[in-house]
Structure 1
Amino acid sequence: MSKRAVLEVIALDAEDAVAARSGGADRLELVTDMAADGLTPPRATFAEIRAAVDIPLRVMLRLADGFTVGEPGGPGDVDALVAAARGLRAEGAEEFVFGFLDADGMPDLATVERLLAELDGCRWTFHRAIDRAADRDALRKQLADLPGLDTYLTAGSAAGVDQGLPTLLAEAGAAGRGEPGYGPHMLVGGGLRLDHVDVLVAAGVDGFHIGGAARPGGWTHPVSATAVQEWREALDT
C-alpha cells in the first residue's frame, strides 16, 4: 500500500487551524497577510495555534513581499528575519518555511545560512521562490547539502500549477530516479485544483498544499473543514 499523501493547509489563526485539522490536514503552514503572499505571523498567533492543534506547524519566515531580502533596516532586513526566527524558536516553533533569491535569481545563500544558524537543525521548506529562480535545477543542487531542508513548495511556474505542470512532472521523474538535488519532498501548491490531483499522483507526487482552495468564501473567510475533507478524500482515493 502506498503511503498517505501529505496535505498541508495555510492557517492564519487558531480557527483556521482547528478546521484544517478536523478536515484531515496533516500539517499547517502559518502565515499572515496573504495580500503579500504570506508573511511571518506574530509570535502570539503561533502560540495560539500551537495550543489549539497537535499537528505539525511550519512557520513562514518572510517579512516583506517578494523573494529578495531588503536593505538593512528595511522591511525584509536579514537581521529582522533572524530576530523573528529567534523569537519563534523561543515560542516553541520547530519547523519553518523560507527561501530567498539574489539579484541574479539564484539562491541567496548568505541569508539562508544565517537563518539556518538560528534554527539549529530544524526542518524547513524552501518555498515558491524556486518558481522565480533563474535555474531551478542549479538551485536544487546548490541547496542540496543544507541542514534540515526536507521539502520544496512549488507550482512549477510563477504563474501557478496550470502552467507549471510539465515542470512538476519532470521534477517528479527526477526525484523518482534519485537525481542529485531532488531528494527533498515535493509539495505542490499555487493555484492547485482538485482536477490536477490525478495526473500528479500518477507521476508520483504525494505532497499537496492548499490555501484558497480550503476557503470557498475567499481569504476574508475562515478555512472550511468540509473543503479540506474533500481534498483529504480525493488524496486518499
Structure 2
Amino acid sequence: MTTVEICVSDVPTALVAETAGADRLELCADLGQGGTTPSLGTVEVALRTLRSAGVRIMVRPRGGNFRVTEVEEQVMLADIAAIRRLPNPHDLAVGVVVGAVAADGRLDLPVLGRLIAAAGPLPVTVHKAFDEVDDQLRAIEEIIDLGADAVLTSGAAPSALAGAARITELRQRAGDRLRVIAGGGIRSHNVRQVLAETGAREVHLRAPVPRDGREATDGDEVRRVVAAVRTG
C-alpha cells in the first residue's frame, strides 16, 4: 500500500489531514522557510489529539541553508530529547526529521550521526537537505550506514516528476535497507504518474489552501490524493 504523508503546520491542519485519510503527518513550523521545529506545546497537543496517523516531527532550528553550527546542533539534540520525553497516549508512530550538509557539498555525517543516535528508537527521516548533496548515490549509502529510516527526495530536481529517474535509481540502490519518500510538486492530478515513474511507495506533499489570511490544509485535496493512490 502507498503511504501518503502530508506536511502540516499546526494541530488544526494535522487534524484536517488525518480526517481526510493521510497515513502520516510531517509536523513543522514556518513552512515559508521550508519547515522548522514546531513548539513542544504543538507536538504535545498533536500527540494527545491525533488518533491514527503517524507523526514525523521536523527538527530544524532555522530556515535558510542546511549547515548546522555547534550551537544549532545542541538545540537540535535538546529538541530531540524533549520530543522523546513527551507522552504518546494513543501509541502513534512518532519519528523525527533532520538534515545537515557540510561546506564541501557532502552530508555532515558527524552531525547526522549524533542526531540519529540521540533519536534512539525513534525512526529518523533525512529531509530534502539530501537534495543539496553532490553525490546522492554515495550519500544514500552513508545515510543507511548511520541508521536512518527514510530519506525524502525529489531526486535533486525541482519536482518529483522531473527527478523521477534519479528517485528510481536511489530506490533501487537502497532496496529494503531504507525507505525512499518521493516529494516535490506532488498533487492529486499527478500522484499516480509519480508512483508509476519512480516506483516509490511513499509520497510527501503539502495540500495548501488560503484560509483566514494564512495557509491551511485542503482536506478535499488530501482525500483526492489518497483516493488516487488507493485506486492506482
Same fold (TM over 0.5): yes
Aligned to 2:7: 10
- Among residues 189, 192, 196, which one is paired with 2:186 in the alignment? 192
Distance 1:35 1:201 in 2: 27
Aligned to 1:201: 195
- Among residues 2, 12, 22, which one is paired with 1:25 in the alignment? 22
Distance 2:22 2:220 in 1: 11
> 1:75-133 CA distances to partner (integer Å, 9 max, x unpaired)?
xx211111111111112474111111111111111111221232112111111111111
Q: Which residue identity lines up with residue 40 of structure 2 in the other structure?
A: R
Kindly report which structure 2 residues correspond to 1:144-223, keeping only aligned pairs within 5 A, or say none: 144-147=144-147, 149-175=148-174, 178=175, 183-202=177-196, 203-211=198-206, 214-217=207-210, 220-223=214-217
Q: 1:17, 1:52 within 8 Å by CA — same for their partners in 2?
A: no
Q: Which residue identity lines up with residue 100 of structure 1 in the other structure?
A: A
Structure 2 residues without counterparts, runs of 5 or longer: 89-93
Distance 1:120 1:99 in 2: 16
Distance 1:199 1:183 in 2: 25
Distance 2:139 2:87 in 1: 30
How many pairs does the alignment contain?
222
Q: 2:13, 2:216 within 8 Å by CA — same for their partners in 1?
A: yes
Structure 1 residues without counterparts, runs of 5 or longer: none
Q: 2:57, 2:97 within 8 Å by CA — same for their partners in 1?
A: yes
> 1:151-176 CA distances to partner (integer Å, 9 max, x unpaired)?
1111112523243222123334445x
Residue 209 of structure 1 aligns to a residue in which SS?
Answer: strand
TM-score scaled by length of structure 1: 0.86
Paired-residue identity, %: 27
Select between 218-227 and 100-109 the one with higher mean Cα deviation.
218-227
Cα root mean square deviation, aligned: 2.0
Distance 2:180 2:106 in 1: 19
Distance 1:107 1:101 in 2: 4
Q: Which residue identity lines up with residue 107 of structure 1 in the other structure?
A: L
Distance 1:236 1:162 in 2: 19
Q: Which residue identity lines up with residue 217 of structure 1 in the other structure?
A: P
> 1:163-201 CA distances to partner (integer Å, 9 max, x unpaired)?
3222123334445xx4xxx73111111222334323332
